[in-house]
Copies of this chain bind each other. A is one copy, B any other.
Amino acid sequence: MKVLLNGGVARRGMEILSERFGDRISLRQIAIGGNDPAITEDVANSMGWAEVLISLNYGPEFPPAPNLKLLQIPASGLDAIELKEVPGGAAICNVYEHEVGIAEYTFNGMLEWVVGLARRNEAFKRGDWTGTPSLGGETRGELAGLTIGCLGYGNIGRAVARRALAFDMKVLALTRNPRLLDPEPAFMGAYADLPKILDAVDFLLVCCPLTEDTRSITGAAELAAMKSGSVLINVARGHIVEEGALFTALRDGGIGGAILDTWYQYPNADDPGIRPSHQPFHELDNVLMTPHISGWTEGQQQRRWAKTGDNIEALMTGGNLINLIRPSRP
């Protein structure tokens, strides 16, 4: 089986797949898109050669791939894949496995918001006892009893919800196709039901895919409907939340804060140190922000490459593909 890896994913993938399959597969790597858009003859030859392509992106700039049987996305997001450009003979699969890391990140953020351990650590290391009970320190709130709304109730939303229930939080959920899902939330609705939950949530967790239905679904009107102390958490894609409206709501106290891991601009060859937004979120004290690392755990990588390998194995042995997004045309 001829397996081609595109871009940065080759760093881990070449090693892990080589160790698992040995000489049962041939491996090559290319770089199309992102920081290296030039299509060389080598790249075109490799695309013609490949039976499996492992890539986070796919578009019209990709050379023909007449032998392609599987486009394996070694991540969950499809927003950099132009489905109609992928040869019809190729099945398309993705992988998840990031839900553990993202759920842990989400709780790190919510707990830092409510408890403030890291913030208090800095003050106490300077010798500041402010807040200690014996000196009449102010009490803080508890996550217990608060409400989290999950905009998206797939693997991530449900992993967060399971933990939230153990923390005695109330869970409201919105998903593309509302149905009975485990764990059962106190409210289950469609994306269009977002206005119904906005004034009830203390935390709004954005964890749905970026699609035409969800792009900018959280704009000025939605942010204005949220409680003034509420916190927006985005672990999905920046553009699900309208950039300018979010900044304004945070700066002017329309909402209480935000925990942001996904962005509007990313480093590129021309500007490797680019700020993640056109707005100066980094100047706001009520924002906790990170560089798209919420799901980036060693466990996620091990599980993703194991399932990617399983799909290569399935293709070699006639087994069933995992997470089939689009079957191949016969």
A297-B142 CB under 8 A given contacts A125-B289, A132-B291? yes
Is B132 a contact partner of A293 (Cβ separation < 8 A)? yes
A176 on interface, CB distance cutoff 8 Å: no
Report how many residues on chain A are interfacial, defined by Cβ distance under 8 Å: 67
A37 on interface, CB distance cutoff 8 Å: no
Is A108 a contact partner of B105 (Cβ separation < 8 A)? no
A120 on interface, CB distance cutoff 8 Å: yes
A299-B145 CB under 8 A given contacts A8-B134, A108-B108, A291-B120? yes
Q: Which residues of A, 103-152, contact B by the 8 Å Cβ criterion?
A: 104-105, 107-109, 111-112, 114-121, 124-137, 139-145
The minimal Cβ–Cβ distance linking A84 to chain B, given in whole angstroms, is 25
Q: Which of A162-170, A194-202, A308-316 forms part of the interface with chain B?
A: A162-170
Q: Which residues of A, 9-27, contact B by the 8 Å Cβ criterion?
A: 11
Number of copies: 2
A298 on interface, CB distance cutoff 8 Å: yes
Is B139 a contact partner of A273 (Cβ separation < 8 A)? no
A282 on interface, CB distance cutoff 8 Å: yes
A48 on interface, CB distance cutoff 8 Å: no
Is A101 a contact partner of B142 (Cβ separation < 8 A)? yes
What's the Cα separation between A135 and B127 when bound, in Å? 38
Q: Render A157-199 as a binary contact track against B, CB cut-off 8 A, 1 for contact.
A: 0000011011110000000000000000000000000000000
The minimal Cβ–Cβ distance linking A189 to chain B, given in whole angstroms, is 24
Residues in B neighbouring A266, C-beta threshold 8 A? 132, 134
What's the Cα separation between A131 and B105 when bound, in Å? 14
Is B132 a contact partner of A297 (Cβ separation < 8 A)? no
A49 on interface, CB distance cutoff 8 Å: no
A300 on interface, CB distance cutoff 8 Å: yes
What's the Cα separation between A163 and B313 when bound, in Å? 37
A296 on interface, CB distance cutoff 8 Å: yes
What's the Cα separation between A225 and B117 when bound, in Å? 28
Smallest Cβ-Cβ distance to A293: which chain B residue: B131
Is B100 a contact partner of A111 (Cβ separation < 8 A)? no
Smallest Cβ-Cβ distance to A166: which chain B residue: B166
Can you list 30 pairs linking A and B with CB atoms under 8 Å apart?
Answer: A100-B168, A101-B140, A104-B111, A104-B115, A105-B115, A108-B108, A108-B112, A109-B117, A112-B112, A112-B117, A117-B259, A117-B288, A117-B290, A118-B118, A118-B119, A120-B291, A120-B293, A121-B288, A124-B290, A128-B291, A129-B291, A133-B293, A134-B267, A137-B293, A139-B296, A139-B300, A139-B301, A141-B297, A141-B299, A166-B166
What are the 4 tightest A-B residue pairs by CB atom distance, in nearest-first order? A118-B118, A166-B166, A108-B111, A132-B291
